[in-house]
Structure 1
Amino acid sequence: MILTAADRRRGDPDPIRIALVVPLQGSAGIFGPSCEFCAQLAAEEVGADGVLGRPIEFVVVDGGAPPQTVADEVDLLITAGLVDAVTGWHISSVRQAVIPRIAQRVPYVYTSLYEGGERSPCVFLAGETPGRQLRPAFSWFAQELGVRRWAIVGNDYVWPRRTASSARRYLDRLGGHVSTEDFVVLGTEQYDDALRRLAASAPQGVLMLLVGADAVAFNRAFADAGLDETCIRFSPLMDENMVLGSGAAATRKLFSAAGFFETLTTADSLDFSARYHRRFGVLAPVLNSMGESCYEGVRLLVELFNRAGSTDIRRILAVADGLAYDSPRGPVRLRNQHLEQRVFLATVDDLQFDVLHRF
């Protein structure tokens, strides 16, 4: 599938083609439409002249497919010379499968929040990490709400596992601890056993490391069990789609931390939201942090291409560090291949995020 950012005429320059890897199925599939629309907005805002005098086109790859399937498709596109770069929101197990197949041939901007620690030369990380989400959030919960005893429920793959390990270290430094942990396969809809163990451990808070539809199912089961009466929930991966899918009755005392929320009232975020809805209308996919991250991924690639004066990965790596610009998340700067950014804490109020604090 090809999404074009500009109509090309005969004689126009060849486009810069970007593999947009976003989930179109599975637990994270609910994010796909928002991701595609936000990436499209970023490309359209570059305009018909594009970047380096070339328009932008996308080749959409289903990042919700099995990781090796995604990696195979990305490899084929690069080997055939059909794409100049890769970006998009997808889970960490997909990223880990894709990186060796890219083999430092093209730049890869990974836009999702992730577990931290990635240092592969061709990869630029645009998302949040546990040190910027969990560590300050746990401190805030301890100081403001007295919450130090936590349970962890997550999907069973690299992001939840490694993030849980970071969470235990952060809590230990705060005098807190983890009372119980449960990890379930992607696609889990039944949480009875996990909730029984969770209730028996009597936590004050639950760290949710669940993806998309899995988190929706957990939120509903958690509320049905009455655990929201005594226990808060905190997720670094919670968006407007998941809140709407959970319903108002299942989002009591639910918190999240991210670099972007649609209800964030900074000048940059308000302007971005206005442009998105002006372009796509009131029936557009929900504007969320996952979608905005894909806008961020395209924008970062454009900035890298412009700074290097080329799409060549070697020239990009030579000039990337220290690159800075203003984004919907506010001012951002690339350091050690990671995009430094502000992170905000929010709670759900009547199916919307109420931003409480900037870390």
Structure 2
Amino acid sequence: MSDTPSNLGRRRLGLLGAALATTAGLRGFPAIIGSARAQGAPAGAPIKIGVLHSLSGTMAISETTLKDVMLMLVEEQNKKGGVLGRKLEAVVVDPASNWPLFAEKARQLISQDKVAASFGCWTSVSRKSVLPVFEELNSILFYPVQYEGEESSKNVFYTGAAPNQQAVPAVDYLAKEEGVQRWVLAGTDYVYPRTTNRILEAYLKSKGVAESDILINYTPFGHSDWQNIVSQIKQFGSSGKKTAVVSTINGDANVPFYKELGNQGIKSTDIPVVAFSVGEEELAGLDTAPLVGHLAAWNYFMSVDDPSNKAFIEKWQAFTRNPRRVTNDPMEAHYIGFNMWVQAVEKAGTTHADPVIDAMIGVSAPNLSGSTSTMMPNHHITKPVLIGEIQNNGQFNIVSQTPTIVAQEWSPYLEGSRDLIADWRKPMSCGNFNVRTGKCGGASSTN
């Protein structure tokens, strides 16, 4: 497959340059930030941080840990003296895996609790639910989970992976290293899997994969009866061509899915599964013996051998008072996003949304792999991509790692998206700028 992640990143940067050429007066990186103190809580009062993660329902298996890591990060920052000389206070709510309730809880955090920023959501449907609230009330959301792209909002900082920072490199790995020719795109039935699979289907076809060699399947949240679907996957993989499953299955449905793979004797050597939403936290609830050798694609694994990661794990297990408590990719995304927010607030001299949003662009923070991530003008961060094999102990053996990749918020493989970029620096300040027409608002999306 000829389009490498690095080449795609350079292509998007080229489009960015073309767009900037149409916008007079745009110079420098990052934009100049005013230093005026803004309205907010009285000096000395705690700065409130919203934590918007499901602590009950189908997504609690994944999101509870993200609430806990935010509490740890707040505690650690307070030990350093807080932010702007003020302590931080976490305000935790439970949207209970209920998508409309996410919007209600977001409004509560912003309007009633007066939080300076919020860290939250997992599924794209929850993010889509809260997005109008954050835009209406001009507040900031840090979103820590891989997603489908096709969006860039002034009020959201996407610290999880875009498709070219996870899904596309995973497919490239399977094609190159495993010789995969037939593809099962299996996902939970909501925005992220459907859009990601639309991108992957277009990408695979652009590489010459026949439509008959692509099987797409969706199941509802919490799906538990996988016997027929796994049988279908097994049959699809019996054609003589190497077959793999690309999984965007989310939440607790992963438990019976992987169990059924084992029940039907599907081994990683026969039909490997690469998952985008299964990490160390999810594996902690599974019998991993039948899963050894199956894969996951993330931007971080707990098994990363780096001093910064080891120190983070030590702090995490001490904070939770559990020496067996695992870490995972979205936790690292919150770690990066939180530290970027602290830097931006200190840089802006205020917690007020607009100066902080401007100050965020260009901020760099350490990741847990020994390098740094940078917040780009499209409100996405730079990331390496790691492929890991599941081990008996529920950890991942890292078998591949890319260089740092710049996120593509708009997919070059979808009609209507390939000519779009996002750049939130002034004077452009646009989430879907069309580089061909030279106009903002090139697609029906947040801008």
Normalization by structure 2: what TM-score?
Answer: 0.74
Q: Cα–Cα, structure 1 residues 278 and 77, in superposed 2: closer, same or farther, change >3 Å? A: closer
Q: Which residue of 2 aligns with 1:160?
A: 193
Structure 1: distance between partners of 2:308 and 2:181: 34
The reply on whether 1:347 has 2:380 as its aligned counterpart is: no
State the SS of the aligned residue for 2:388. Answer: strand
- Counterpart of 1:45 in 2: which secondary structure? helix
After TM superposition, what 4+ stretches of structure 1 lie above 4 angstroms from structure 2? none
Q: After TM superposition, give the deviation of residue 172 of structure 1 in Å.
A: 2.3
Deviation at 1:286, TM superposition (A): 2.5
Mind listing any 5+ residue stretches in structure 2 that lack a counterpart?
A: 1-41, 403-447
The residue that corresponds to 2:129 in the other structure is 97
Residue range with higher mean Cα deviation, 170-179 or 213-222: 170-179
Tell me the distance in 1 between the aligned counterparts of 2:277 and 2:207.
23
TM-score where L is the length of structure 1 = 0.91
Query: Is residue 2:374 matched to residue 1:333?
Result: yes
Structural mapping, 1:276-315, within 5 Å:
276-283=316-323, 285-315=325-355
Shift of residue 302, structure 1, vs aligned partner:
1.4
| Residue in structure 2 matched with residue 68 of structure 1 by the alignment | 100
Greater CA drift, 73-82 or 187-196: 73-82
C-alpha distance in structure 1 between counterparts of 2:55 and 2:67, whole Å: 10
Question: Is the 2:160–2:330 contact (alpha carbons within 8 Å) kept by the matching residues of 1?
Answer: no
5 Å-filtered alignment, 1:86-125, equals 86-102=118-134, 103-125=136-158
TM alignment of 1:198-277, pairs within 5 A: 198-202=233-237, 204-228=243-267, 230-277=270-317
* 1:171-198 C-alpha deviation (Å, 9 max, x unpaired): 2233335531110110111112322322
Larger deviation, residues 163-172 vs 337-346? 163-172
Secondary structure of residue in 2 paired with 1:245: coil
Q: Deviations over 1:186-240 (max 9, x none)?
A: 0111112322322232261001111121112101111111222610000111111
CA contact (8 A) 1:23 1:29 kept: yes
Q: How many Å separate the matches in 1 of 2:43 and 2:345? A: 19
Q: 2:209 corresponds to which residue?
A: 176
Residue type of the alignment partner of 1:26: G
Instruction: Determine what percentage of the aligned residue pairs are the same residue.
Output: 24
Structure 1 residue 104, shift from structure 2 partner: 4.8
Equivalent residue in structure 2 for 1:83, among 95, 115, 119: 115
Separation (CA, whole Å) in 1 of partners of 2:235 and 2:312:
45
Cα distance between partner residues in 1 of 2:360 and 2:281: 34
SS at match of 1:246: coil
- SS, match of residue 338 in structure 1: coil
Measured in 1, the distance between the counterparts of 2:383 and 2:188 equals: 26
- Asked whether the equivalents of residues 339 and 365 of structure 2 are also in contact (C-alpha less than 8 Å), the reply is no
Distance in 1 (CA, whole Å) between partners of 2:88 and 2:139 is 15
Instruction: Indicate conservation of the 8 Å contact 1:234/1:256, yes or no.
Output: yes
Superposed displacement of residue 108, structure 1:
1.1
Aligned residue type for 1:209: T
Give me the whole-angstrom Cα distance separating, in 2, the residues matched to 1:140 and 1:327.
Answer: 23
Greater Rg, structure 1 or structure 2?
2
The amino acid of 1:124's aligned partner reads: F
Distance in structure 1 (CA, Å) of the matches to 2:281 and 2:273? 17
1:166–1:343 distance in 2 versus 1, CA, 3 Å: same
Q: In 1, Cα distance between the equivalents of 2:165 and 2:338?
A: 22
User: In 1, Cα distance between the equivalents of 2:170 and 2:97?
Assistant: 32
Q: Which amino acid aligns with 1:261?
A: F
Unaligned runs of 5+ in 1: 1-10
Contact 2:63 2:122 survives alignment (8 Å): no
Cα RMSD (Å): 2.0
Aligned to 2:418: none
Query: How much has 1:145 moved relative to structure 2?
Result: 1.3
Cα offset, 1:159, TM superposition:
0.6
> Would you say the 8 A contact 1:324–1:332 is kept in 2?
yes
* Aligned counterpart for 1:35 among listed residues 45, 66, 70: 66
1:234 alignment partner, SS class: strand
Kindly indicate whether the alpha-carbon contact (under 8 Å) linking 2:159 and 2:334 is maintained by their aligned counterparts in 1.
no
Distance change (3 Å), C-alpha of 1:334 and 1:135: same
Shift of 1:83: 1.5
Question: Is the 8 Å Cα contact of residues 59 and 97 (structure 2) preserved in structure 1?
Answer: no
**Amino acid of the structure 2 residue aligned with 1:273:** I
Q: How many residues were matched structurally?
A: 349
- Aligned-partner Cα distance in 1 for 2:47–2:323: 29
